[in-house]
Amino acid sequence: MGIHAVWQQKAEIGHPAPIPMAKQLAAAKSELGEVYRELFEAAQMQRRMSGPRELRRGEYEIAAEMFPVRHLSGDFFSILEVGETTLIAVGDIAGKGLRAGLWFTHLLGLTRMYAASIVDPGGALAAVNRQMCQASSPPPLTSVYLARLDWLTGELMYSNAGHPAALLLRADGASECLETGGPLLGAVPEAEFESTSVWLKPGDMLLAFTDGLLECCNDSMEEFGPQRVIAEARSLRAGGSASELLFSVVGAAQDFAGPQAQADDCTLVALRRDPSRR
């Protein structure tokens, strides 16, 4: 008996004929395409929620960008203007992909809410940490670099919650690692976070980033590391814009890695004070 006859016989005795394989594959392909479209839309929403990727105000310019290893990013950044100040946050949620992406909106919202209402960055991080530790489900460990820039005075007040130190690149060739702060968020409910201030002078640049940049590896499994970041940044510091600094460093990391695939999300924020106002 042929296959067509078997299907017909089953249909006659009340058994539905099986769906042809070609139709099953087409349906699966359509469903998969819809999942990819929704992930793409979610990734674009992450970018829009983070804030402007370029901002100019007076003597200052800011550039920011995320480079997720998958569709959704476990990294985040926030550029938020509050009066005569701008809040700058760079964060890294443990893990990557969908699980980290699901926490993205919540942690970005907490960071922006407390940073806007609490002037001291350390106090804002402490508030975020308490909220995370009170969650009904265990939160992912999260590192955050949080700063408040005063456009009028050039003061940059910051606190660092277990995040790679941001680099302050002085116009005179010196560099400083901005490490002051406290532990990772989501680990110790009553953790305290120290804040301190630095002042940006004309020609100074700041580069904040997640560990996906530092841990970018080549075929020998050697990491890009902070010294290469500094070396690349110094080559452009005198005349480059904030956006040029950001993409120059990213390009240098990609050249260093060569064919080695990106293993972790990477996010950078660059800040520059116009050197012509000396």
Look at 8 and 244; give whichever has higher pLDDT. 244
Percent with pLDDT over 70 in the chain: 77
pLDDT confidence bin for 69, thresholds 50/70/90? confident
pLDDT given at position 267: 92
Domains and their CATH numbers in the chain = 53-277 (3.60.40.10)
- The residue-averaged pLDDT of 228-256 equals 86
Q: Above 60 in pLDDT, residue 248? A: yes
Q: Above 90 in pLDDT, residue 180? A: yes
Q: pLDDT tens-digit profile of 19-67? A: 677 666 666 666 656 655 655 555 566 666 667 788 998 899 999 998 8
pLDDT given at position 48: 64
pLDDT given at position 147: 97
> pTM (2 decimals)?
0.81
Contact 201, 170 (CB under 8 A): yes
Q: Above 80 in pLDDT, residue 143? A: yes
pLDDT given at position 123: 97
Look at 236 and 44; give whichever has higher pLDDT. 236
pLDDT confidence bin for 166, thresholds 50/70/90? very high
Tally of CB atoms within 10 A around 77:
27
The whole-chain average pLDDT of the chain stands at: 83
Q: Which amino acid is at 63?
A: A
Chain position carrying tokens 């990491």: 223
Tally of CB atoms within 10 A around 219:
9
Q: Above 80 in pLDDT, residue 265? A: yes
pLDDT given at position 7: 42
Q: pLDDT tens-digit profile of 82-112? A: 999 999 999 998 866 666 667 788 888 899 9
Q: Which two tokens stand for residue 143?
A: 């590192």
End-to-end CA distance of the chain: 92
pLDDT given at position 234: 82
Chain position carrying tokens 């909106």: 105
Q: pLDDT tens-digit profile of 108-141? A: 889 999 999 999 999 999 999 999 998 877 888 9
- Strand 60-67 relative to strand 266-273, pairing: antiparallel
